[in-house]
Structure 1
């Protein structure tokens, strides 16, 4: 008997909206910013690593390039049925490798050098 009363009462309570609720007015202009630290999951190719003697330094160099601080900004204006917006994304990454040993494959010489790379990505859309 209690189940017969409980189920319809529960369904009735779920279907009734509260009169205290009011419609929330959404602002037409929205501005947001965010940022953080990202990790690029796609692995890049090291090319012909056969000429590099100390491959562990190149591997560390590539892994350092995968960590990237990121900043995002969005501006949107909402009309009645549609909106218009602009998005900006900034990513940067850098890596350094020192004392890279390269075999020039002439059975006589090795080259020793440093590598430095800085990437800046700006996107507006």
Structure 2
């Protein structure tokens, strides 16, 4: 399968690239360099801008005729926080994260594997899903 990846140079995106390539898939990556973004003042650092961007992407994606799935991971466990390459089963919490708790998290390896599975198998088309380990 040949895929378009957005954010492939990020901490999660790099794992997705590795997972795709290990399964024999190909991809084109659209990335932005961190130097191209100028920090902006705002409450809670730039979290407000990030949330606004998520909302705009969500709105625009939902208007396209492409096959898309929005995967929202609960708190991610990055390698520098809890080293693990283990892929564990992913729990799906619906489109609004029903049943999610503050203790929930998701390993990067698990979310990368899940993202590739969703893309390759065409799961959750035209919908959003919140996931946790």
Band the TM-score falls in, shorter-chain normalisation: under 0.3
TM-score, length basis structure 1: 0.20
Greater gyration radius? 1
TM-score, length basis structure 2: 0.20
More helix by share: 2
More strand by share: 1
